[in-house]
Structure formats: structure tokens, C-alpha cells
Chain A
Amino acid sequence: MLAAPLVVIGLAGCSSLGPDSAGAGEVALAFHAAHEGGDGGQACELLTEAARTELEQSSEQPCDEAILAEDLPTAGRVVEVAAYGGDARIVLDGDVVFVTVEGGQWKVTAAGCEFRSDRPYDCTLTGS
């Protein structure tokens, strides 16, 4: 009987660490590298389906062209990863990126995000 809550604590503790939080940081970096390198196709590959759709509908352009027109800040190394369940926020040196697990892989839901106190981040690129 005592073991039951201990098992739950273990599971909850593990799930709070998230699925491969290092991988989330790598995807955020790869997304920025593709964007800054002008590889719109690769950048779009790293977006969630919803983010791609949102981008194409709002710009009325194919994703690989529209993504390069997005005014995202340049970003460097990973400063901090906060991952819970299938969602994560990656603070990069220069940007904040949100990712989620889609199809078993981390995908970018939002980028170019700026912190706002007591409100959601204000993001240049969004789509959950």
C-alpha cells in the first residue's frame, strides 16, 4: 500500500523530465540553423503540422518560402530547456522556442517568442 504512491512519484518524476529534453534543444537549434541558412524546406520539416498550416494560410505562400520571410532573431546555444510531458520551452541565446512531440519527434510550435509578464509569450511564428 505504501509502495503505490512511491511508484506514482517515480512515474510522475520521470514524466516531469519529459521525453529527451536534450533532443528538444537540438531541434530548436536545428530550426534556427535552417532558417538562418536559408533552408526553408528543412525549417518547415521541423514545424508542427498546425504551425505549417498557419504559416501557409496567413502568408498565402508555400511554407518553405513563407518561413524565410519570417523575421526571426538569430539564436545561438541552448541556455535552458524546460520539458514537461510532450511539451517544452527552449531558451536559446537570442530567442525562445516552444516545441511539442508530434509523430514521436520534437517539432517547433512557436519561435521568435518574447516574454510577457502574466500573459502568453508574444511569438512571431505560432501554431500549436
Chain B
Amino acid sequence: MTSPASNGFLRTNGLTVFFGTIFLLALVGQALTGHAVYNNGQVTDGLAEVSLLRYLTSSEFAVDVTENWQSEYLQFLLYILATVWLVQRGSPESKELDKVGIESDKDQMIGKYARPNSPAWARAGGLRLGVYARSLGLVMGLIFLLSWLAQSISGHSAYNREQLASLQEPIAWLGYLGSADFWNRTLQNWQSEFLAVASMVVLSIYLRQRGSPESKPVGAPHEATGLEG
């Protein structure tokens, strides 16, 4: 039986609160250290230092933030979509080997297999069910695209500011989308995300973290797939 204390807000929302808090702390830290780095550069170039507010609204801060955001959302988007169709023997990150694909209505608890406490759109048919059945990927994908768009706009502005400061020609936004600066910022983030996912998939076959749902139970065999601890 669950005690009242175990239903407290912080306890039942610990993951969201924890990651939300450390996200904000890290963002504040990035803002403060980024401001210091930016002003060091200004002094080196013989230019005036800027206020924290001015830095926070600068394209330099925006591109540094959004190039990381887009890659994180892309990572999770790909993970959400790839794990529908691709499996990995022995990994708790994978579903069971015979469940490749979108699975049956029964397995997914939709239509006539919906339960009384299933979400309303899961009980509905047609377009609403179609949208809801893809809503996680759609929203993560939308946030990825918006973040990537924000990166391209702020990166374009930051790039052109540097161009002008060194007496060079600014370029158009479409030209920036094909530039080495845009793709270098993008790919240096993508490669690290893809490496982390691949590492997690493989390491979780052989290694364990007792109590974590991201790991198999400590005593589970290496070849067991789709088990969460």
C-alpha cells in the first residue's frame, strides 16, 4: 500500500524536477561563463565590454544554446523512431526481437483494445488516433526543427558579425545554410549524440546499474532483450 508521503509532488515528479533544475542551473552557468568569454574577446579586440543582458540577447549566446538543443532533440527523435523498427539483441534499450514494427492494436491498447483509463485520443479512431499515436515523435521532431531553425538564424547573425568585424562580406541566410560554419556547429553536436546513444545501446547489453530502468536487472543474462530493471 502506498503511504501519503510517497505521493508527495517532489517524490512523484522527481525526474522532471531534478532535470529541470539542473538544466536551469547549467543554463545560468553557461550564460555567466559565456559572458565572461565574450568580454575577454572584446577586450582583446580593443572593443567595449557588453552587459550581461546585451550578451543574453546576442546571436552568439543564442547559437551556442540552440546548436546543443537541436542535437539533443534530434537524438531523442531518432531514438524514438529507430527503436520502432530496429532492435539490438541483449539491450534493454531495445524491444524484444520479434516485436519489430508498429505492433498490433492489442499490444498498443488502442481501438477496441483500449482500456477505460487509456487517453481519450487512444480510444478514438481515425485522425485523432493517428496523430496521437505519433504525437511523441511529432512534438520532439517539431522542437528539433525549431531549435535547428533558431540555430541557423542566430548562427547566421553571429557569423556575419564576425565577417563585418574583419571587414569581410556578409552572406545571405540561405548561403549560411550551406556554409562550413553552420554544418561544423551542427555535426560536432550530432556526432557526440550519436556516439552516446550507440554506447548506451551496446554497454547496456553487458553492464548493469542496479535499480535503473535504463539497465537490465543485475542478474539478467546478457542475451536478454527488452528487459528493464
Give me the interface of A with B, judged by CB distance under 8 Å.
1-2, 4-6, 8-9, 11-16, 49-50, 82, 84-89, 98, 100-103, 109-110, 113, 115, 119-121, 123, 126, 128
Contacts and interface: CB of A to CB of B under 8 A. Distances in A.
Contacts of A110: 167
A85 B150 contact: no
A89 B59 contact: no
Interface of B, secondary structure class, is helix
Interface residues of B, number: 36
Contacts of B45: 128
Interface stretch (B6-14, B155-163, B208-216): B155-163
Contacts, number: 106
A103 B47 CA distance: 9
Interface of A, secondary structure class, is mixed
Contacts of B48: 101-103
Given A113-B167, A123-B167, 8 more contacts: A5-B66, A6-B146, A8-B65, A9-B149, A9-B150, A12-B63, A84-B163, A119-B168
B57 A15 contact: yes
Contacts of A1: 143
B153 interface: yes
B3 interface: no
B48 to A, nearest CB: 6
B62 interface: yes
A82 B146 CA distance: 25
B59 A12 contact: yes
A115 B168 CA distance: 9
Contacts of A4: 69
Given A49-B46, A50-B46, A15 B146 contact: no
Given A2-B139, A5-B150, A128 B62 contact: no
B167 A15 contact: no
Contacts of A98: 164, 167
